[in-house]
Amino acid sequence: MTVPELLMPQYEHKQTSPLHVVLYAIGTILVGAAWLSRENRVVSLILVSSAALMILAALCFGYLVVRDEGDALVLRYGPLPVFRRHIPFARIAAAEPSRSAVIDGWGIHYIPGRGTTYNLWGFDCVKMKVDNRIVRVGSDDVQRLARFLTEKMAGQGAF
């Protein structure tokens, strides 16, 4: 292998979703409604604030990047990089393809008894056991991610 190949991640995948487009549309509609109700400052302020929150959420959850960073799996939502999770491979005890439930939702959710879910769209995911906790990572590339994690854990003597 050449030096550039050694520096490249063994796994990287970017999943996009139409959800952020819906959030932008809602934000735009709220701005229009605020303009139409500009005579009532309180209503207008509430609508503009709500629009700002929708647009901020769209910027935070436009895509989900799952990436190998040598010693850890990094999950990063974007394009505004507010939400990020770093999971050291040494802490992953198991990984398998799975499906999340409606209750797990989209985005970042913790549900007692079910664990934490990082998901952007759809229900396919990789279910991991991390420090005796369940972590689900939603992906449209589940088989390849699960295979990569299994190979990474086997190479580190995790099994």
CA dihedral 21, 26, 31, 32 (to 10 degrees): 110
96 close to 139: Cβ distance less than 8 angstroms: no
103 located within any domain: yes
Q: For residue 56, what are the domain limits? A: 18-60
Full strand arrangement of the beta sheet holding 12-16 = 12-16, 63-68, 72-78, 84-88
Cα angle: 47, vertex 37, 54; to 5 degrees: 20
In angstroms, what is the C-alpha Rg of the chain?
Answer: 19
CA–chain centroid gap for 25, Å, is 21
Over residues 19-39, the pLDDT tens digits come to: 889 999 999 999 999 999 999
134 in the same domain as 71: yes
Query: Is 7 inside a domain boundary?
Result: no
- Give the type of residue at 58: A
**What pLDDT digit, counting tens, does each position of 124-157 carry?**
999 999 999 999 999 999 999 999 999 888 776 5
Q: Check whether residue 128 and residue 76 sit in a common domain.
A: yes
81 domain residue, yes or no: yes
Considering the domain boundaries, does residue 2 fall inside one? no
Looking at the domain assignment, is residue 4 inside a domain? no
The whole-number pLDDT of residue 2 equals 52
Closest CA relative to residue 47, chosen from 26, 22, 20: 26
Residues 97 and 36 in one domain: no
pLDDT single digits (tens) 71-99: 999 999 999 999 999 999 999 999 999 99
